[in-house]
Structure formats: structure tokens, C-alpha cells
Structure 1
Amino acid sequence: MFTLRDSWVWDFWFADDGDAYHLFFLHASRALHDPEDRHHRASIGHAISTDLVSWTRIEDAIVRGQAGEFDELATWTGSTVRHLDGTWYTFYTGSRLAPGGKNVQRIGLATSPDLITWTKSPDNPILSADPRWYETLADAAWHDEAFRDPWIYPDPDGDGWRMLITARGRTGDPLGRGVIGHARSLDLKHWTLLPPLTAPADDGFGQLEVTQVEVVYGRPVLLFSCLAAHATPSRRAATPASGIWAAPADSVLGPFDIAGAYQITDDQYYVGRLLRRRDDGRWVMFAFHHTGEHGEFIGGVSDPMPVEWHDDQLVVATPLPDKKSKSLLAPGRSHLRSQR
């Protein structure tokens, strides 16, 4: 488990340079006291590992911008990919407060030659919610303008790239308006925002956080996370706990069966990330430790958990620890080797 003694750690993602795995993670100081305040103080940290268990923290990757910039409040979840020319691209969420205190999220870009030193694009933000298809603050239906958590992957239809985005539609029950936003690019620099790949649902989710789509052992699957408080009453009645969800998919471009989504974990874990190990080709899932035995926020990225298919559902292949398990380490304990 990866934790920091002086900071909370939560959302995260990976990059693999062929020699080492790079973990990018959100963190904020424990001196805030209330873990809910971490969202407004988040920076993107960086750690490196060769085995996905022991991690060495290095300098932070990206921090919030200056006053007036799109990420002046905080930098949130993103995705890192490598261009054919060798340049690394990180797409991340920038957060700022609008008049009245509501949060507006937009997507920015930073590039790096080596995964260590990052330069933000002068064109940031590169994408924001388009009211033709996506809910904005003007709709006054939600506590923020949700347009975040970009997930980037090669376009299966040919050249270029696709982006999945945590967003909201403009119709229906506010607790069911969560949709998967969609954008396309040929060069990773210039993006065209498209209509969402899913629609609001009466038996749905207010937001589908931190999406990821992969083909796991020959089957496409979509992962996302949602808290129970952000789902429709009918969804909460059927599955009252928060956690990590999986939705069946026909391909990495959908259709995605959000109505048929099922839980992989309860609220002990949040933000599931699938990764295929380089050494043996096996798929594993990581998550951050979310809720403890007494309902408290934990934080910290889990060790890898093998996944497999049982019938038509993706499951963790080994038993997950319950909230009383000693495998949920106390804050400050981890396989971390150094803190700079």
C-alpha cells in the first residue's frame, strides 16, 4: 500500500516507460485536518516502482496554477500517454471556483520528455463543458460543473486518440444525469468535443467518476466509481453501498451498459484502475482505500489485486479485506522507500 505520512493520497493513474511504472496521484496535506478539504488543495504527486508494490516518491508532477488560471484552485485526476514522437502527455482536471463558490472543472494538458519535468500547455484549458450536450452551472442542477477525469486511449478506428470524460447530461433526474463525455484527437494537441457516449438514466448515477475502459482477457469493460449519495434512489435501493463499478461494453467505444453496471467493491475502495503487468501479462486492479471501519476516510493506493472473469462479471480474484482487516494499514505505513 502506498501512503504518505503527512498527506492524504486518493485518485491516481499509471504510466509505464518500459523499465519502471510511474504512479501519479492526488495528495493534500493532513494539516488541513478535515479530509473533505483535500479536494481544494490537491496537487499531482509522482512515485516510481519496478514491481508495483514498493514505491519511491519523487518530486511532484503538476501543481495548481496562478490566480485567474483554469486550475488556480487545484489539479485533479488525469491520464498519461506517450506520443509516437516520444513525448509524454498528461491530461488532467483543473479546478477553480465560480462566483457563488461552485466548482468549475475543465481539462488541461501538460507535456514532458521524461515523465519527470512537466510543462503546462499555453492553450489550457483544452476542453470544457459544451452546453449543447453537457450540463453546466447555468443549469443549476448540481453542486458543481462536472467535467473532469479524462481517460485517453488509442482510437480503435484508426489514427488518433479518444478521451472519456466524467460529465453530466442536461435532462432527467439530477441524480441520474451522469454521462460519459467523449472527445477525439488526431495529434493529442487538438481535440474535438463530441456528444456523450451514454445518456442520463432513471436508474443511473449522478456522476460516473474516473472512468477507464480496457479489453481484459478478450472482453471490453468500463470501470467507474460512484458514491451512494450521488446515485438515483432506485439504484441506491438495489445496491446501497458506494464503490467501484463495472459496466459491460460491446467495444472500447461502447455501447456501455450503464443500466447493467455491477459493483466490484463496496466503499472500502474507490477509483479502480486496471493495469496489465509487463512481466506476465496478467491484469490487476488497484484502488485507493476510501472508508475505514468507523466510516473515516483512509487514503492510500492499494497493492495490486488480480482480476478475472466469473461468468459475465469482472471480479477480484482474491478475497478483499474487510474493514477490520489488518491489511488496511494505518496512515503513514506503506511500502514507500523514500519521501523527498
Structure 2
Amino acid sequence: MAFRLDDRWVWDFWFAQEGGRTHLFFLQAPKSLGDPNKRHWHVSIGHAVSEDLMNWVEVEEALRPVASPAWDDYTTWTGTVVRAPQGHWLMFYTGTSRAEEGLVQRIGLASSPDLYRWERSSRNPILQLPDNTLYETLDRSVWYEQACRDPWVFPDPDGRGWHMVFTAREPNGPSVGRGVIGHATSDDMHQWTLQPPLFRSRVFAHLEVPQIFEWQGRWYCLFCTAANLIDSDYASAAMSQPMTGTHYLMADHPLGEWHLMPGDFLVGDPLGKLYAGRVIPARDGSLCFMAFLKNEEQGGFVGELSDPLPMIVHEDGTLYVDASSYGLSAG
């Protein structure tokens, strides 16, 4: 596999690229926990570097929960890294607190001059859900958590500041169909204003780990979800079978209108072998797809990252990834 650790599980990841190097940031937890389901609550953000997306050198971890009571003293979860116009780097990440039993998710910010040393912002958290108007807030009779996580930040293509998308849920409708791509805007990446969802799925309970990118004039939004979190009528009508994995939306502009691509997932299967896929530019300018290995045939958790798989963009803009090397039908 492209990246694995003998003593830790690895799952969701994101990246930054500079000077021919790819910096990989990833969630990690010790295998000594025994139960991989406990990994979410014993997590830190690891860091590795590669020049070819295949050979990785692990370096010092980037971030972990704070020791004293705080909004992120329980978990530091999935995020994104972008370079600020001033030249330094910013990491947006998800946090939860012990006081709230990890049930309420917020988004925070850390900065770095070199991608190695990270310092939390004094303004944290920079994004949270204030009420039940635009997005669903905590109601355990409806859903098991308050979803506001997995931030992905990118510049407005028309030069009008910055956009953040994140995993969230809307406050109305059947629970299994409330998953949305949340949206916020900023002029400086420090102060953020909540906006209405960028996309309402109506058929997914959540759309995790979104990634928005542009390719040859078209815009794409990758997301992942699990087979048991898909509306059964939609799965029966639009897919060969319910799948766990990575799917995508298409649009002519990042502010939409976004369209859910019909049919099976880009990379998915009922078991959920590969999850939380990302598109990563290779050094030759082509696109690669990477995901983390989630479930093995026997149902156990794997916790490693896949090799980079070539991504093909057809003339009509649809995406194709051959994941047959991992026992999946070509998507």
C-alpha cells in the first residue's frame, strides 16, 4: 500500500503541495486500542511527505487535541490545508469537546510558516452552527451528532474571497435524506459567514469529506457516504446496488447549480473497501485518486492509504477510476 503504519490506523487524509513535494495530513490512532471503532476518540493528525505519492516519509505529527478544557479537547478530525496570500499556510480542521461528549462538531484554524509547525488561532472556533435555521443542530432523537465537519477551503474563481464547504445536515425532511454540502464564505479566511447549503442531496444522510476542484472548465465535488445511509428508493432506482465509497457532483461553477451524477459511485462497493477518496494532482499534471482502505473481505477495519490510481476525465466530463487492483469493478 502507498502508506501504512505498523502501530497506528490511518484513515481520512488531505494534502498540500509545494516545490514538487506532497505533504499528507491524516487521521491516526494507535492499534493498541484493540477496537478500531475507538480510533475516533483517540485521534491526532499525522504528517508525511512524498515526492512521488508512493514513497512517504513520516514526520512529526501536526496537531492533536488540547490538554486543557476547550472546544477541541476531545478530537481533532478531518480538514484541509491552503496557502494564504501572505505566504503562510492555514489548516482548517474539525474539533469536538469532552464536555459535550464529542457530539457537537465545530471548525477551527491553525497556521504554519512551513507546513511543519502549527499554531492554533486565538479566534477558534471559526465556524459553528448557531441555530436550527440553515443547518440541523443537535437533536439525538433525529440524528446521533451535530454535523459540522470536514472543511474544504478554496478561493473564489472570480476573486471574491474564499469558500468553505463542509459536511452538514439540513433541519427538515426525512432523516436519511438530510445530508447537504454546507457552505460558508470569508474575505480573509479568519472570519466566516454561514451561507445556505451549496447542495441538498435529499437522498443521503450525510456527504462526508467533500473536495471541490476544477478541471478543464468543469467543477467537481467529491464526497463519500455509506450504503446504509442512502435512501432505499433512490438506491433501487439509480444504482446497481447500495454502495459505500466515493461519489461526485458536477457543475459549471463552484457555486452551482450542482448535479448528482447518476448511477453507481465513482469508487464504491457494498463492503466499503475504499473510502473518503481524494483527487491529487500528480507531478506530470495528471489527476490521481487516493482513498483509505476501510473494510476487508472479512469485515475488519484496515486503516491504510491506497496507492494513487489514475483518474480519467471523459469528453462529457464524467470521471473514471480503475480500482480493480483493490478488487473493485472499474468506476
Are the equivalent residues in 1 in contact too, given 2:79–2:91 (CA < 8 A)? Answer: yes
Relative to 1, partners in 2 of residues 1:139 and 1:257: Cα closer, same or farther, differing over 3 Å?
A: farther
Moved over 6 A (4+): none
Distance of 1:287 and 1:199 partners within structure 2: 24
- CA separation in 1, counterparts of 2:201 and 2:284? 39
Pair 1:292 & 2:293 matched:
no
In structure 2, distance between residues paired with 1:31 and 1:307 = 36
Please show how residues 309-324 of structure 1 align to structure 2 within 5 Å: 309-310=313-314, 311-317=316-322, 319-322=324-327
Determine if the alignment matches structure 1 residue 221 to structure 2 residue 195.
Answer: no
AA aligned to 1:143 is: Y
In 1, the alpha carbon distance for the partners of 2:14 and 2:222 equals: 13
Percent identical residues? 43
Kindly indicate whether the alpha-carbon contact (under 8 Å) linking 2:218 and 2:317 is maintained by their aligned counterparts in 1.
no
The offset of 1:97, in angstroms, is 4.5
Alpha-carbon distance change, 183 to 262 in structure 1, aligned in 2, over 3 angstroms: farther
Q: How does 1:114-153 map to 2 (within 5 A)?
A: 114-130=114-130, 131-138=132-139, 140-153=141-154
Deviation at 1:213, TM superposition (A): 1.2
Counterpart Cα distance in 1 of 2:65 and 2:206: 24
- Partner SS for 1:8: strand
Equivalent residue for 2:276, pick from 267, 271, 280: 271
d(CA) in 1 for partners of 2:75, 2:102? 14
Q: Give the deviation of 1:98 after TM superposition.
A: 5.4
- Cα RMSD for the two superposed structures: 1.8
Which residue type is aligned with residue 121 of structure 2? S
1:304 is matched with which residue: 308, 321, 325? 308
Q: Is the 8 A contact 1:306 1:318 kept in 2?
A: no
User: What letter matches 1:52 in structure 2?
Assistant: L
Matched residues, number = 319
Distance in 1 separating the partners of 2:296 and 2:122:
41
1:105 corresponds to which residue?
105
Shift, 1:242, TM fit: 0.8
- The aligned residue for residue 4 of structure 1 is 5
Aligned residues of 1:264 and 1:314 also touching (Cα < 8 A): yes
Letter in 2 for 1:281: G
Q: Distance in 2 between matches of 1:154 and 1:139?
A: 35
Displacement of 1:309 in angstroms is 2.4
Q: Provide the residue aligned with 1:282 in structure 2.
A: 286
1:145 aligned counterpart, secondary structure? coil
Q: Secondary structure at the match of 1:127?
A: coil
* Paired residues of 2:94 and 2:150 also in contact (CA < 8 A): yes
Identify the residue that residue 84 of structure 1 maps to in structure 2: 85
- Structure 1: state its 5+ residue gaps: 324-340
CA distance in 1: counterparts of 2:264 and 2:99, whole angstroms: 35
TM-score (norm 1): 0.89
- Deviations 1:147-203, CA, capped at 9 Å, x for gaps: 0000011111214211001000001011110001101111111111111112251xx
Task: Show the 5 A alignment for 1:1-340.
Answer: 1-97=2-98, 101=101, 103-130=103-130, 131-138=132-139, 140-201=141-202, 204-237=203-236, 238=239, 239-258=241-260, 260=262, 262-266=264-268, 267-277=272-282, 279-310=283-314, 311-317=316-322, 319-322=324-327
Q: CA deviation at 1:132?
A: 1.7
**Hey, what's the Cα distance between the residues in 2 that align with 1:57 and 1:114?**
16
Structure 1 residues 124 and 170: alpha-carbon distance in aligned structure 2, compared to 1, 3 A threshold: same
Higher relative contact order (CA 8 A, sep 6+): 1
Q: Which residue is 1:331 aligned to?
A: none
3-state SS of paired residue (1:108): strand
Preserved contact between residue 148 and residue 168 of structure 2 (Cα < 8 Å): yes
Question: Cα distance, 1:18 vs. partner?
Answer: 1.8
Task: Give the whole-Å Cα distance in 2 for the aligned partners of 1:118 and 1:52.
Answer: 23
- Asked whether the equivalents of residues 96 and 102 of structure 2 are also in contact (C-alpha less than 8 Å), the reply is no
Aligned partners of 1:42 and 1:281: how far apart in 2?
33
Question: Does the 8 A contact of 1:89 with 1:110 survive in 2?
Answer: yes
Helix, strand or coil at the partner of 2:319: strand
Larger mean Cα displacement after TM superposition, 223-232 or 22-31: 223-232
